[in-house]
Amino acid sequence: MLKLDDRGAAVKALQTALKAAGFDPGKIDGDFGNGTEAALIAFQKSEKLPPDGIAGEDTMAALKLPAPPPPSSDISKKVTPRLVSQMFPNTPLGNIIANLPFVLKAMQDANLTDKPMILMALGTICAETESFEPISEGQSRFNTSPRGHPFDLYDNRKDLGNRGVPDGANFRGRGFVQLTGRFNYAKFGPKLTPSADLVNHPELGNDPTTASSLLALFLKDQEKAIRAALRQDNLAAARKLVNGGSHGLEQFTRAYRVGQRVLPD
């Protein structure tokens, strides 16, 4: 991201692009000053982008400039079970010790090792399965009718790609991200390394290696939008991109905020 008081060739390119778009930043000198900020905010308003005066990925794309590289600070090797346990006060430390290495390895493979995305992964785990174990979704009034068989309310959910009995039970939420629905099992299975037939073997979603890879792949699939939400500190929007709603938002937010304090930069 480029912001007030930054300097260099990238700022100069930004100023040049702003002027070409009709938003004069003043002197084209590579110095991100008040004039550049004002021109940038005006451009963002014109493009219906968040007018924060920061040239992030979406703003740079609107100006047809190369996107700034994602954060390159890899903190994954400094994230320890003891640190993570502060984000999971109700979770046995042994569960974190057993499963954290799988999660961090998957995040490394997906090149999501900067602090915001590590926090996103850990916050998601806290919201979905605070035990820090890959688990299957339990029955509730949201997935099982009063007189129905388990997960019957999922059986015919077209939005999940389900096709009737027994899809509801077969493709109920599993793993760290609670992958749900035939559509997602079919979509993400081939993306695993090595690929896995999750449609015919949905129970693999609870294998620690598979569950960790699915979490990382799911975050990677929404990476651009998640990063945009996190840059705005909009944790509700970031959570919605994974969950589709606000379920677990309180746990996610609490874990994320604690992690901001305790994990290394």
Model-wide pTM > 0.95: no
Q: DSSP string spanning 66-122?
A: PPPPPP----GGG--HHHHHTT-TTS-HHHHHHHHHHHHHHHHHTT--SHHHHHHHH
253-to-100, 104, 126, 200, 216 alpha-carbon distances in Å: 19, 20, 9, 35, 19
Q: What pLDDT does 67 receive?
A: 66
Q: What pLDDT does 68 receive?
A: 57
| 15-39: pLDDT as tens digits | 999 999 999 999 999 999 999 999 9
What tokens were used for 98? 């057993």
Contacts of 162 (CB under 8 A, 6+ apart): 154, 155, 156, 168, 171, 181, 182
Residue 217: which pLDDT band, with cuts at 50, 70 and 90? very high
Q: What percentage of the chain has pLDDT greater than the value 90?
A: 90
Most confident of 10-14, 118-122, 218-222: 118-122
Segments of the chain assigned E as strands: 135-136, 174-175
Comparing CA positions, the residue from 56, 60, 59 lying closest to residue 70 is 56
What tokens were used for 253? 């937010």
CA–CA dist 255, 39 (Å, integer): 37
Mean pLDDT of 193-217: 96
With tokens 């606000």, the residue in question is 246
Buried b or exposed e, range 212-243, using 16+ CB within 10 angstroms: bbbbbbbbbbebeebbbbbbeeebeebbbbbb
Spans of all domains in the chain: 9-62, 76-134+213-262, 136-201
| 81-120: pLDDT as tens digits | 999 999 999 999 999 999 999 999 999 999 999 999 999 9
**Which SS3 state, helix, strand or coil, does residue 227 take?**
helix
Q: What pLDDT does 9 receive?
A: 87
Q: What pLDDT does 42 receive?
A: 97
Largest CA distance in the chain: 72
CA–CA dist 263, 50 (Å, integer): 28
- Which helix (H) or strand (E) covers residue 124, if one does? helix 115-128
Q: What pLDDT does 96 receive?
A: 98
Phi and psi for 221 in degrees, rounded to 5?
-65, -30
What is the rounded average pLDDT for all residues in the chain? 94
| 137-165: pLDDT as tens digits | 999 999 999 999 999 999 999 999 999 99
Q: What percentage of the chain has pLDDT greater than the value 70?
A: 98
CA–CA dist 51, 65 (Å, integer): 18
Mean pLDDT of 32-53: 96
- Residue 31, Cα to own-chain centre: how many angstroms? 33
Model confidence at 70: pLDDT above 80 = no
What tokens were used for 130? 């605070």
